[in-house]
Structure 1
Amino acid sequence: MGVFERFLTVWVALGIAAGVVLGLLMPSAFEWVAGMEYAQVNLVVAIFIWVMIYPMMIQIDWAAVKDVRKKPQGLMLTLVINWLLKPFTMAALGVLFFEYIFAPLVDPTSASEYIAGMILLGVAPCTAMVFVWSQLVKGDANYTLVQVSINDLVMVVAFAPIAAFLLGVTNVTVPWETLVLSTVLYVVLPLIAGLLTRSFLARKSTQAIGNFVAALKPWSVIGLIATVVLLFGFQAQTIIDKPLVIGLIAVPLVLQTYGIFFLSWWLARQMKLPHNIAGPACLIGTSNFFELAVAVAISLFGLNSGAALATVVGVLVEVPVMLSLVAMVNAWRPAEK
């Protein structure tokens, strides 16, 4: 591992601190960047995420993608965790903490909105960042692509019904522009770019692809850190103004993340999945598609609602927690023979 990957946790911690400090010192600059969005998708963040996942797309061997169907267990694990377990455990934890454990600390209206925001996070499994986590754990690039593609297709038909059921309403409005635009920006465009780049490099030499990806790795990490700085900069004032509320919301979110991961990992071991498939299979069920969750929370409950705040807290806790899970997956990698 290079110096960027070896000290990734340190860089992320510095990025979090820098984001909060810069957000407090230059709020107008972050407001300007936050305004550069379309259909609730921030275009600057999209560019940084694109930089992160582009190297992963170059590694996809299209000749090997068809072989994924020979090992469907990983896809089945992901689908079960994402759509039959995760939304319901998130809802259960939200109710447990905000209607019982934390009930004396928050008013009932705010509590119900926090639960709603948590539910929206639980029903929105990750898309773009999975490519980053997969790359960090040396996951199978071909499997990760197929996994994300199938998950996106399921999300189109399953997100609204499950969210409506768990929220107890029937008028959940899915911002389709957000869903489609995010998929295009985070999957389709970098996928096409990666395919064209790989085809071009393959014509030069067999080593050209590996050399080019190695050269891009530092930029991938820089994209991750820049994304962290922006996300924490956007919410710097909220972090300072409402530390207790953010801490309360973070508790069940962190428990959910670790709980889902360890359950997924145990199931992956029982299914005897290879390490390079078990890693991304467990991580996609653990992380969240926060852009979609935030957009729906704002459209349903308002920009300043507790639901919107809960989805934002999901953004804040995800990167540090996911990095700890990446470290675990790497530590559990079987020794090479």
Structure 2
Amino acid sequence: MHTLPADAAFFDIRDTLGIVDRQGHLVPYRPSSFQLLETIRAIGLRIGLITNLPTDVSTADGFAMVKEAGFADFIDPNGFVTNHDAGVEKPHPEIYSFAAQRMGLPPEKCIFVGENLAEVIGAQAAGMRSMLKPFPPGREFLFKPSGPGQISQTSSGRISELILEEDHLIAKRIVLSAVNLKHKLEAMTDPAAEVRSYLQPIGLIVWLTQHFIDSFHHRKEEEVLFRFALMKGLHPSELASTLTDHEQGRAYFRAMDAAFQRICLGDTAAITELIALLGAFANLYKAHGKYEDDVLFKKIGDLLTDEDDAIIVDLAGRIGPADITLYLNLIASLEKALA
């Protein structure tokens, strides 16, 4: 009987399977991380995770993060190992030996995959075979057609729809920050003096609306999908209101940028204009995002084949930024500045 040369594959988490955009929250790479783990399981390997956690984040908290991201069902019951459990941090070889022991395996029957070269070498020192996984993710794992997932009245189950709706969750953080900033600016008693303390969050919202919402999400994801939707028979009238919203948003973003520049030059009249623009932007995108999530993306997804879906996801990954960590870090900085 043929036996596999390895029995288990351990993965790093952060920057290997996804992005930790704030403490306790993991944004998985979709669909590549899930397809990768599905493939590893299909070839008969048990799956584990080895991760370093901060001192104030427990092993239980770490597993809760993994579960929320959707990875828990792939993990062997004994496969989630942290530095708290092992008493040492990666890349110390003992954490890898400890993980193998937890699985009831010798290290040489295990593989470790991670984006950090030092951690890969640490695994090798412990006797594991190991592999460096590129960060940000590139072409190391080819996307494949994936049949529709959970289908409902508002979801086609397509991966492209899921990715766009997850981007809406990220964009929602910008919208909520805009509302928060609006309230803080309205509450100022001496705008000319107090507005200087809000230049960072104003500038971050201006940058993120232009470079994440418009340049990335609108132009390199949604409007790519819309082209394919027209090819598949969607009537242009179905896109008219959404594309108008995009143009209206761009007008707001340009006006917000101009108001920011004027505020930096000491023009206090621009503060009132910025407050109005922040409110208009938030109102527009609350309705806009809901319509896309609940109506438009479902209509488009219903027209796509599995192959169409895989191509669109792959294409968006090629023409968009390879790594959205920058955006997530800037959003976290924005939220911190407004806390």
- Normalised by the length of structure 2, the TM-score is 0.25
Greater strand content: 2
Question: Which structure is higher in helix share?
Answer: 1
- Taking CA–CA contacts closer than 8 Å with sequence separation of 6 or more, which of the two structures ends up with the larger relative contact order? 1
